[in-house]
Structure 1
Amino acid sequence: MLEEGHRWWWLWLVGVHGILMAAVVSSDTLVESPHVPAMFVFGDSLVDDGNNNFLSSMARSNYYPYGCDFSGGATGRFTNGRTVADMLGALLGLPYVPAFANPTTVGSRILGGVNYASAAGGILDETGQNLGQRYGLSQQVVNFEISLNELRGMMSATNLTQYLAKSIAIVVVGSNDYINNYLLPGSLYSSYNPRDYANLLLNRFARQIVALHSVGLRKLMLAGLGPLGCIPNQRASGRAPRGRCVDSVNEMLGSYNEGLKSLVDQLNARYQGATFLYANTYAVFGDILNDPASYGFKVIDTACCGLGRNQGQITCLPLAMPCANRNDYLFWDAFHPTEAANAVFAWRAYLGPPNDCYPINLQQMALL
């Protein structure tokens, strides 16, 4: 939870939900000069903006009603409107960054950044294999190096070094390593206790972050895991009483989130001249779950679009009829937040106190 002083500040900010939604600028109302030259996005379906459209995957959202509140329609974003990455990019003064897998993402189109995130992808290469093709984090790093080779042909070595050092990388990954790996029946890792599994993930994750640093990135925001035991999919699993989150799932995430924050400290101490942030996803969504009305939400346990218990047993299908009052809902489908929820997270990562984004917030990092 937020400290009391910070809490009242945030309640003032989000007390009127419509004001919050309007305040997260769209890509059509950019500031005159971007705060950073580019943003590079790595992760999973929480920030995928269309990569899986070009893969043979069951994890796709390029159909209505996904994107029903997005200016471009159903682009492959796993929500009704904008993702957290879209909003953070807008706050940084950048246009929407294109999906790496789109054949048109070449040449000058990559100068403002690229999105490498892939639905079902995770830290472990095998995570999400039950859903078909996807880019795991290690492949996303390889894909970034492909973009880097193209950038080398567009600017001098000195300019590229400065460009990369000033750019920001957003990394939102790890949920699938639980939802589509550890928690699946027959998982290869079922014999691991939660702490050992978290350590495995963090060790693999650290390798990829160090790899991104080694090729020139110097500003990276690493998002922790939200309370996965509270998403409609887990509430619908029958492992908790109706109306309750699956506490056992939430409890196992503590080791990962604590370890990721510690990793941020280690990386900041080891790599002088670089800045690594820990975005406290769990705290942000925990606050909403504990006091939804203060953030403008009325429904926190049921998806806006889906079927079955909590509308979370079957996710949002093509041409399904979503709820009409989408800004009242915390969750869009069985797994993903609504645009309204993404707005809360984006603001708190961008402007929040150290409990939200540690050791400094995204705005402060952009100004370094």
Structure 2
Amino acid sequence: MTEVMNQLPRVAVLQWMATMLVLFSRVLSSLAKDPLMPAMFILGDSLVDVGNNNYVLTLAKANYPPNGLDFPQGPSGRFCNGRTVSDCLVQYMGLPFPPAYLDPTAKGPVILQGLNYASVAAGFEVVNSGCCGAGPYDGLIPCLPIVKPCPDRSAYLFWDPFHPTDKANSYIGTAFFSGGPDAFEPVNVMQLAAMP
């Protein structure tokens, strides 16, 4: 329980980021038809990066296995085994995954559907160790192609030393989207999206 409590500041930052994303997306709400929002523009760090670092000269990349192990398209640059919190929110809103800002296809009408500008800079059995990494607590070295991930990723809070697993991101995304006041105040994303 202490490990989970130590993660509360990180959750507060994610909560703030999600609120800012929704507020920014509300600017375009007059264009909405079926989705709750017409677009989502994501600003953040490696917790929500979907592959911007694939297009820059850096060692901080996650476009190789076992990253993306549980993501339908495979390794994409997401620093986790599956979806990020922003991916979960986009799905709940009925939107497609927005491309990385630096993706060559992110131009023209595509950018009106949202972009991800992020870049690197709840029933969990394992909260004090990463699922994929090396060193003490699998937290010294991030997930690399030579590192074998844990067999049950859904039991882990962290994918690597810094990033949550798909299950953790799904849990957080659900709390942001439809959680009660005990999880998200003053309103959740669904309530905010429904405001006139």
Residue 360 in 1 paired to residue 187 in 2? Answer: yes
Matched with 2:99 is: 98
Which residue matches 1:310? 137
Looking at structure 1, the residues matched to 174 and 104 of structure 2 have their Cα atoms a distance apart, in angstroms, of 32
- Counterpart AA for 1:322: P
Q: 2:170 maps to which residue?
A: 343
**CA–CA distance in 1 between the matches of 2:176 and 2:123?**
19
**Alignment partners' CA distance in 1, 2:157 and 2:125:** 8
Give distance in 2, aligned partners of 1:37 and 1:306: 38
Structure 1 SS opposite 2:103:
coil
**Alignment partners' CA distance in 2, 1:74 and 1:60:** 10
Structure 2 residues not aligned, in runs of 5+: 2-32
Corresponding position of 2:63:
62
TM-score (norm 1): 0.43
CA contact (8 A) 1:80 1:332 kept: yes
What is residue 36 of structure 1 aligned with on the other side?
37
How far apart are 1:330 and its partner, in Å?
0.6
Structure 1 CA distance, aligned partners of 2:113 and 2:189?
17
Counterpart pick for 1:329 among 140, 156, 161: 156
Cα shift at 1:33:
1.8
Which residue number in structure 1 is paired with residue 6 of structure 2? Answer: none
Q: Which amino acid in structure 2 is aligned with residue 356 of structure 1?
A: A
Residue identity in the other structure for 1:347: T
Flag the structure with more relative contact order, 1 or 2, with Cα contacts below 8 A and sequence separation at least 6.
2
Q: 1:319 deviation in Å? A: 3.8
What secondary structure does 1:301 align onto?
strand
Larger fraction in helix: 1
Runs (5+) with no aligned partner, structure 1:
2-31, 121-294
1:178-211, Cα deviation, whole Å (9 max, x unpaired)? xxxxxxxxxxxxxxxxxxxxxxxxxxxxxxxxxx
Does 1:84 pair with 2:90? no
Structure 1 equivalent of residue 108 of structure 2: 107
- 1:109-128, aligned counterparts within 5 Å? 109-120=110-121
1:355 positional shift: 4.0
Partner of 2:21: none
Q: Distance in 1 between matches of 2:59 and 2:78?
A: 14
Task: Give the secondary structure class of the aligned counterpart of 1:114.
Answer: strand
- After the TM superposition, list the runs of 4 or more consecutive aligned residues in structure 1 that deviate by more than 2 angstroms: 353-358
| Number of residue pairs matched by the alignment | 164
Q: CA RMSD in A?
A: 1.5
Q: Is the 8 A contact 1:63 1:319 kept in 2?
A: no
Identity percentage of aligned residues: 50
Q: Normalised by the size of structure 2, how large is the TM-score?
A: 0.80
